[in-house]
A and B are shown apart, each in its own frame.
Chain A
Amino acid sequence: MISAIVRTAMISLRRDRGALLLSFILPVVFFSIFAVIFGGQHDTTPKVKVLVVDEDHSRISQRLVEGLEREGSLDVKTGPEPVKGAEQPEYTAPAAEAAVKAGTAPVALIIPHGFGANPIIFGPAGANRPTIQLLEDSSDVIAPQMIVGLLQKVAMTSIPDWMAEQGSRYLDQFAGGLTREQHDRLDESFRYLRERQESGAAAPDSGNDGIIAVTARAVVGENKNNPMVSFYAAAIGVMFLLFTASGAAGALLDEVESGTLDRVLSSRVTMTTLLLGKLTYNSLLAFSQLVVMFLWGWAVFKLDFWSHIPGFVVMGVCTAFAVATFGLLLASVCRTRAQLGSLSTLVILVMSSIGGSMFPRFLMPQAMQKAGLLTINAWAIDGFTKVFWRDEPVLHLWPQVLVLMGITIVLFAIARRLARRWEYT
């Protein structure tokens, strides 16, 4: 009896390609994606991009930069990428700050004038000691802390002679002669060290952490109430928009099955008109979903919605059109609702994982970040991030608008071509 039940279920599964796809292919695909991202595939290990501005141009600062460049986990840039083969001038402090704001890199380090003369700190923070400035995009909570740590490590490994020399100077300064005054200064330093030890490690932006003084400053998102809300509103929003759009487009398959589509096409409505109608409806639905999601973000998570309305509308409309045509395309590829359910689950989850809806793309290896650009998710999230995180003007959204509208036109053309099979028997 039990074997008969098992046999029946197995035959049903074997003949249900959608269920087979979901049972065996989807887990393998997901496993592979996560393995690539987090599994330490050595040739694609993610590197943190850091912009370095050397204002000091001393031997010490140069050796520090070279030490940072040797770090395998860092992608150090001292200037912008060449344009048409022409080398670009090195970053200045304002240029590096602008680049961080534009999202070129999550962190920039500014090595100030005079750093080489006094690279190591010892004792209480002094007003005159030059400190390295760390400019950070606070949406990336990992990169700045990683850079601060690596900076200390590089200081230890790239300028050991200077450290020794300066250490002896400190010894001479603080221990030599051991006058009353020197005792006092040593005591003061020891007291300082003890206090630090007892109070735990100071925060990176305290200006006195480690051997090299670093002052951290957020140049993006410094005034945001809740740094990641806008990112997740867009990231999760786009993923669910894709699911909704494919579900809504599935109504087309219901109409095919019930014969309603035939009846509609026997009226004055043509297939192109019908698809445009479906596209308009699905786009409106998607846009409304985005409005609800961002309004919820504003009401509950203090997302700054009202001051970003123009950018939201531009990105919302483009995203809505792109996901709506994507849904139409999926529906026009499939023959039944069941097929659509399986295919859309597979494709949307894959797109969402590599496109940044499940975890930020900046955490992914370079190759995966580039692959993400093949998805609607990545372009939509980038656009919304520009609007809500970087406060960029609407005109700066042109690459995202261009790509999303291009996707809309191309996918619609393909869907229209595939829908010819419904036009006539």
Chain B
Amino acid sequence: MSATAIAKSSAPLRVDALVKRFGELTALDGITLEVHGGECLGLLGPNGAGKSTLIRSIAGRVIPDAGTISVFGAQADSMSARTALGWVPQELALYPRLTCRENLQSFGRYHGLGGVPLDQAIARCLGWATLTDRAGELVKNFSGGMKRRLNMAAGLIHQPKLALMDEPTVGVDPQSRNHIFEMIETLRGEGMSIIYTTHYMEEAERLCDRIAIVDHGKIIALGTRADLIRNAFGSRSQVLARFAGEQDRIADWVAQRGGQVIDGSAQFTIEHPTEIGGLLEASEKAGFDLLDVSLRKPNLESVFLRLTGRELRD
């Protein structure tokens, strides 16, 4: 079956009860998910959560111990799946002594392209990554942001139906990051299905239709940003307050009130803003001097914290 035919007949990606162990470590612990056509699914989790292992399993580079992966109905690592998938690895997997164009030529040929289609694909990728003017330069002389963009172009030169992007903005400056966001938004506009791993909440919020929060090899929550926040907090808000005083006593008092101290800041979840007054009154009675207080709507980081008790970047 051709990649196009497969694409029409099946979901871009189905992962069912996937398990992968490395010795004592269970990197993937029964992960199940599905990517819909044209959707960008974010995998959000801290380093070591299992995001890259999941991506590498889908790309056919890791053999799972249990579970199944189907890419447009084909088994991962089959030639059909390889054709339908485009993998942008976290590493800068490029040939540094080749020029930008020569890199694209090589990876295009590895994907079976040649002749005019290859030339057209290279021109398209150079334009997409805004590297047309630098096509003849050696990659080893590129800036980090340019290498990242070329890394993406090399993974997608064969116009796959499903893109696997493993933290494509690692180590780049804010300007280059925005540039990469624009590239991904272009792909989304073209209807490409994408899995995007990150440990940056803002990236997931900006780019992804749905987000899977991954921790210790498990998906602990999956849905749209609004779903995740609603499920974790309902209509509640967060109060952040800082107090002067003995920190151990403050931590005990915060815990008694159902809150947590994170980075020296006491965090409480409240149903209604009017509850702030009661909290401040209680703190005063306990003998703590209030330094500052703020009210905020929960975000994905709050969700992660609530679900795991840890910060996203721990």
Contacts from A to B (Cβ < 8 Å): 258-260, 262-269, 424-425
- A258 CB contacts on chain B under 8 angstroms: 91-94
Tell me if A268 and B82 are in contact (CB < 8 A): yes
- A268 CB contacts on chain B under 8 angstroms: 79, 82-83, 110-112
Tell me if A425 and B56 are in contact (CB < 8 A): yes
- B60 CB contacts on chain A under 8 angstroms: 266, 424
Tell me if B110 and A269 are in contact (CB < 8 A): yes
A92 to B90, CA, bound (A): 75
Tell me if B107 and A262 are in contact (CB < 8 A): no
A262 to B55, CA, bound (A): 12
Tell me if B63 and A424 are in contact (CB < 8 A): yes
| 18 intermolecular pairs with C-beta atoms under 8 Å apart | A258-B93, A259-B91, A259-B92, A260-B93, A260-B94, A260-B95, A262-B56, A263-B89, A263-B93, A264-B110, A266-B59, A266-B85, A266-B87, A267-B82, A267-B111, A267-B158, A268-B111, A424-B60
Closest 7 CB pairs of A and B: A259-B91, A267-B110, A259-B93, A263-B93, A260-B93, A425-B62, A424-B63
- B83 CB contacts on chain A under 8 angstroms: 268
- B82 CB contacts on chain A under 8 angstroms: 266-268
Name which residue of chain A comes closest to B95, CB basis. A260
- B62 CB contacts on chain A under 8 angstroms: 424-425
Name which residue of chain B comes closest to A259, CB basis. B91
Tell me if B61 and A424 are in contact (CB < 8 A): yes
- B87 CB contacts on chain A under 8 angstroms: 263, 266
- B95 CB contacts on chain A under 8 angstroms: 260
- B61 CB contacts on chain A under 8 angstroms: 262, 265-266, 424-425
Question: Which of A263, A267, A425 is the most central at the interface, judged by chain B CB atoms within 10 Å of its CB?
Answer: A267
Tell me if B79 and A267 are in contact (CB < 8 A): no
Name which residue of chain A comes closest to B56, CB basis. A425
Tell me if A267 and B59 are in contact (CB < 8 A): no
Tell me if A267 and B107 are in contact (CB < 8 A): yes
B155 within 8 A of A: yes
Name which residue of chain A comes closest to B27, CB basis. A425
Closest Cβ of chain B to A251, distance in Å, is 10
- B89 CB contacts on chain A under 8 angstroms: 259, 262-263
- A269 CB contacts on chain B under 8 angstroms: 110
For chain B, residues 201 to 224, give those with C-beta under 8 angstroms from any C-beta of chain A: none
- B94 CB contacts on chain A under 8 angstroms: 258, 260
A332 to B158, CA, bound (A): 30
- B111 CB contacts on chain A under 8 angstroms: 267-268
- A259 CB contacts on chain B under 8 angstroms: 89-93
Name which residue of chain A comes closest to B59, CB basis. A266
Contacts from B to A (Cβ < 8 Å): 56, 59-63, 79, 82-83, 85, 87, 89-95, 107, 110-112, 154-155, 158
Tell me if B63 and A425 are in contact (CB < 8 A): yes
- A264 CB contacts on chain B under 8 angstroms: 107, 110
Tell me if B56 and A263 are in contact (CB < 8 A): no
* Given A259-B92, A425-B63: 17 more A-B contacts, CB < 8 Å: A258-B91, A259-B89, A259-B90, A259-B93, A262-B59, A263-B89, A263-B155, A264-B107, A264-B110, A266-B85, A266-B87, A267-B107, A268-B110, A268-B112, A424-B60, A424-B62, A424-B63
A264 to B154, CA, bound (A): 10
Closest Cβ of chain A to B200, distance in Å, is 21
Closest Cβ of chain B to A155, distance in Å, is 69
A264 to B59, CA, bound (A): 11
Name which residue of chain B comes closest to A424, CB basis. B63
- B112 CB contacts on chain A under 8 angstroms: 268
A258 to B154, CA, bound (A): 14
Closest Cβ of chain A to B5, distance in Å, is 18
A267 to B90, CA, bound (A): 16
- B79 CB contacts on chain A under 8 angstroms: 268
Task: Known contacts A258-B92, A424-B61, A424-B63; decide if A263 and B107 are in contact (CB<8 Å).
Answer: yes
Name which residue of chain A comes closest to B63, CB basis. A424
Closest Cβ of chain B to A273, distance in Å, is 9
Name which residue of chain A comes closest to B103, CB basis. A260
- A262 CB contacts on chain B under 8 angstroms: 56, 59, 61, 89, 91, 93
Name which residue of chain A comes closest to B108, CB basis. A267
- B59 CB contacts on chain A under 8 angstroms: 262, 266
A264 to B155, CA, bound (A): 10
A196 to B85, CA, bound (A): 90
- B158 CB contacts on chain A under 8 angstroms: 267
- B63 CB contacts on chain A under 8 angstroms: 424-425
Closest Cβ of chain A to B48, distance in Å, is 15
Closest Cβ of chain B to A328, distance in Å, is 19
A263 to B154, CA, bound (A): 9
Name which residue of chain B comes closest to A422, CB basis. B61
- A265 CB contacts on chain B under 8 angstroms: 61
A262 to B93, CA, bound (A): 8
Question: Which of A263, A268, A425 is the most central at the interface, judged by chain B CB atoms within 10 Å of its CB?
Answer: A263
Closest Cβ of chain A to B225, distance in Å, is 30
Name which residue of chain A comes closest to B158, CB basis. A267
Closest Cβ of chain A to B172, distance in Å, is 17
Name which residue of chain A comes closest to B87, CB basis. A266
A79 to B96, CA, bound (A): 63
Closest Cβ of chain A to B57, distance in Å, is 9
- B107 CB contacts on chain A under 8 angstroms: 263-264, 267
A263 to B110, CA, bound (A): 10
- A424 CB contacts on chain B under 8 angstroms: 60-63
